[in-house]
Amino acid sequence: MSPIRFTHALVRSPSPSVVDGLRAIDGPDPDFDCFVAEHGEYCLALERAGLAVEMMAELPAFADAVFVEDAALCIGNHAVVLRPGAPSRAGEADAIQLDLSSRFRTMETVADGCVDGGDILVTASEIIVGRSARTNSAGVMALAAAARPSGMPLRSVDTPVDVLHLKTDCAIIDEGTIFSTRRLAASGCFEEYNVILCPDGEEPAANLIRVNDVVIMRTGFPETTALLESNGYQVDLVQADEAALVDGGLSCMSLRCAW
């Protein structure tokens, strides 16, 4: 199964409650209209990369529901409903189950602990799960069981302390290459892969997504853009400053699927 080739993306419209989204450090609220505009640009970038974008209904009761990646994992025709680790996000799992059940051939549910999709990196050969403040050992074990129909082995690592999710700091950018911050790669968790290090000082750029022939990354990180282009990657830039105000990045606003 290729970790970079997709046909569809599932996204969720932001609802006005997104201005109350969780954030690790107190800061300004996002502007709702700007958030909607940036989300629209993000969807267009996914379409430019060749995906059919399917919009799931907004969930006004859940401020962070636009970050759909944290509630589910999709591998080919198998979906896993996760157990988001933030108490205010737990109910997103039931909601997304309805969206997924009609779209995937098989579906399992993580039955114990907690695990956020932001802590799950799927490569060509394995599922790497980062234990974090949102993903615990019980969740990792339950995920291993729920992901078994995908046929992919699962390995757990540690998300760096004070980093929200594993994929806050890394992304798969081709079949055997991971783009990673220095602090995460230093743990040795990517020894089996080629690693391209994110330029120091541009760590927020590490949460990028490879979608078919394109790397989609945030505007505002020129060294990262130049580095990727010099390595032969085609880069598409998207502004995601409003999502960043509530600790969101590019990976978390869609579920990329290959059907």
Which residues have a catalytic role annotated? 165, 252
Distance CA 183, CA 145 (A): 30
Nearest distance, CB of residue 18 and ligand CIR, angstroms: 9
159 in Cβ contact with 243 (< 8 Å)? no
116 in Cβ contact with 96 (< 8 Å)? no
Which tokens hold the place of 43?
A: 């969807």
64 vs 174 by CB, closer to ligand CIR: 64
Could you say which residues in the range 77-116 bind ligand CIR, by CB under 6 A? 86, 89
Collapsing DSSP to helix, strand or coil, 216 comes out as strand
Number of residues binding to ligand CIR, judged by CB under 6 A: 18
Contact pick of 118, 130, 139, 199 for ligand CIR (by CB under 6 A): 118
CA distances from 142 to 2, 34, 89, 129, 136 (A): 24, 38, 18, 12, 10
Per CB under 6 A, does 12 bind ligand CIR?
no
Nearest distance, CB of residue 232 and ligand CIR, angstroms: 27
Distance CA 213, CA 234 (A): 7
How far, rounded to the nearest angstrom, does the alpha carbon of residue 27 sit from its chain's CA centroid? 22
Q: Which residue has 């089996």 as its token pair?
A: 192
Per CB under 6 A, does 252 bind ligand CIR?
yes
Contact pick of 1, 19, 22, 133 for ligand CIR (by CB under 6 A): 22
213 vs 219 by CB, closer to ligand CIR: 219
Per CB under 6 A, does 3 bind ligand CIR?
no
35 vs 190 by CB, closer to ligand CIR: 35
67 in Cβ contact with 252 (< 8 Å)? yes
User: Comparing C-alpha atoms, which of 110, 152, 121, 87 is closest to residue 131?
Assistant: 121
34 vs 226 by CB, closer to ligand CIR: 34
Q: Write each residue from 123 to 162 as x if it is in contact with ligand CIR (CB under 6 A), else as -, in one continuous string.
A: ----------------------------------------
14 vs 118 by CB, closer to ligand CIR: 118
Distance CA 110, CA 113 (A): 8
Could you say which residues in the range 214-243 bind ligand CIR, by CB under 6 A? none
Beta bridge partners of 176: none
70 vs 108 by CB, closer to ligand CIR: 70
Collapsing DSSP to helix, strand or coil, 17 comes out as helix
Contact pick of 14, 130, 204, 249 for ligand CIR (by CB under 6 A): 249
Per CB under 6 A, does 64 bind ligand CIR?
yes
Strand boundaries in 57-193, DSSP class E: 72-75, 78-81, 106-109, 120-122, 127-131, 154-158, 170-174, 177-180
Instruction: Give the binding site for ligand CIR (CB under 6 A).
Output: 21-22, 64, 67, 69-70, 86, 89, 117-118, 165, 168, 246-249, 251-252
